[in-house]
Structure 1
Amino acid sequence: MIGGTERLEWNALCDADFESYYTLYADPRVALPTGLQPLGERGAARKWFEQTRDLPAEQGRILALRPQGKRTLIGVLRLTEWDHLAQHVTLGYALTPACWGQGFMYECLAAVLPDVFAGAMTEPVRRVQAWVLVDNRRSSGLLQKLGFRHEGTLRELFHHEGRHCDVQCYGLLRSDNARLRAIAAPRVDELQTALAC
């Protein structure tokens, strides 16, 4: 185990994850609420997977989420678009629908975010931001539960399912992070190992 909780672990994506990754992002219930089109042609999907797996460390981290003690990919956690000077990173996540409503993503993020703020990505981060389609109430509820603040709505930013959609911006600052620190004690050394892979 590289990093995790009682029910989950997170580590680097590997070649063996491609089929599960493809299934995850080919599912319109997963892809569309994130603003992506479901994966189609396997060759293009494989290339996208390899770019994701091989993201340069200076751009951020992308982690595979798995049930504790198993190799099965059930989700993906993205900490990307890392701006080192401004010290912010953009959060994204996806979870297989069979795992929805069980608190897995909350559990994961409550454990990971304090460590990210503390420097687990090799440098401290001051801000984590997330973009959520206005209709994705499940995701906006998760972020609010974690202490993120709704900072505004960008009107008609994405073209999604044949229409232009509004996107909500959420942000969490290191100074807002006291609630998360109380939920999950930082495990920086453990997470630095996971994120360095």
Structure 2
Amino acid sequence: MEKYPVFETERLILRQITMNDIDFLYELYTSEEVLAYFGMSPIDSKDVAVSMVENYEKHLESGGPMRFAIVEKQADKMIGTCGFHAISKAYKRCEIGYDLTPDQWGKGIMGEALSPLISYLFSDKGMNRVGAVIVPYNKASSRVVEKLGFKQEGLLREYILQDGHAYDANMYSLLKKEWLQ
């Protein structure tokens, strides 16, 4: 069975999400501030967080999506998550997703966290294209992927459904040859 790699950057450790992270996930995914940009409704119980962790483990067994805990090294504290999903092995593509607690926004953390993940997707997972779907009003998230070299391709009209409302999303992508330049 495949295992989650552990990535270490100057300030962060990316590791597998475990049952020890349930309280953090529950807080994160009930935060209106975080979910305003995320494209999902708040979870309604810690049982849902438990199911999320169980699904991450099941997906690992099938070579599916992976979601990493982002841990601040100095404080040894989980501050967010990142990962990839919407995998098409035949077409060698996937999409990334990520979130941080609001007190960590604007510190350059997500770019630092995504860099080793993107390298992993191109080198170890054999991807040729990595996408990111971002609601237009989330300017900070757009800046994160643009700094990493992603290009905006277009607008996906009413692509995200959250709390009964449809939202447009910008589609960004990064190609392996661009990342390796």
Please state which band the TM-score falls in when normalised by the shorter chain. Answer: 0.7 to 0.9
Superimposed CA distance per residue, residues 15-74 of structure 1 (whole angstroms, 9 cap, x where no aligned partner) = 111101111111111122111112223323332332234423411321111011654221
Task: Give the secondary structure class of the aligned counterpart of 2:169.
Answer: strand
1:147 equivalenced with 2:152 (yes/no): no
Secondary structure (helix, strand or coil) at the match of 1:147 reads coil
Number of the residue aligned with 1:18: 22
Over 3 Å counting, the alpha-carbon distance change for 1:49 and 1:99 in structure 2 is: same
Unpaired segments of 5 or more residues in structure 1? 180-197
Q: How many residue pairs are counted as aligned between the two chains?
A: 176
For 1:1-197, what aligned pairs fall within 5 Å after superposition?
A: 2-57=6-61, 58-68=63-73, 71-119=76-124, 121=125, 124-160=126-162, 163-178=165-180
**What is the one-letter code of the residue matched to 1:37?**
S
Structure 2 residue identity aligned to 1:78 = G
Judging changes above 3 Å, is the alpha-carbon distance between structure 1 residues 60 and 47 closer, same or farther for their aligned structure 2 residues? closer
After the TM superposition, list the runs of 4 or more consecutive aligned residues in structure 1 that deviate by more than 6 angstroms. Answer: none
Tell me which protein shows more helix as a share of its residues: 1
1:146: how far off? 0.9
Q: Which amino acid aligns with 1:47?
A: S
1: CA distance, partners of 2:164 / 2:14? 35
TM-score, normalised by the number of residues in structure 2:
0.88
- Taking structure 1 as the reference length, the TM-score comes to 0.81
3-state DSSP class of the match of 2:115? Answer: helix
Question: Bigger shift: 98-107 or 53-62?
Answer: 53-62
Comparing 21-30 with 157-166, greater Cα deviation is found at 157-166
What SS is found at the alignment partner of 2:167?
strand
| Larger relative contact order (CA 8 Å, sep ≥ 6) | 1
- For 1:42, give the aligned amino acid: K
Residue 95 of structure 1: CA displacement?
0.8
Structure 2: tracts of 5 or more residues without a match: none
SS at structure 1 position matched to 2:59: coil
Q: Percentage identity across aligned positions?
A: 27
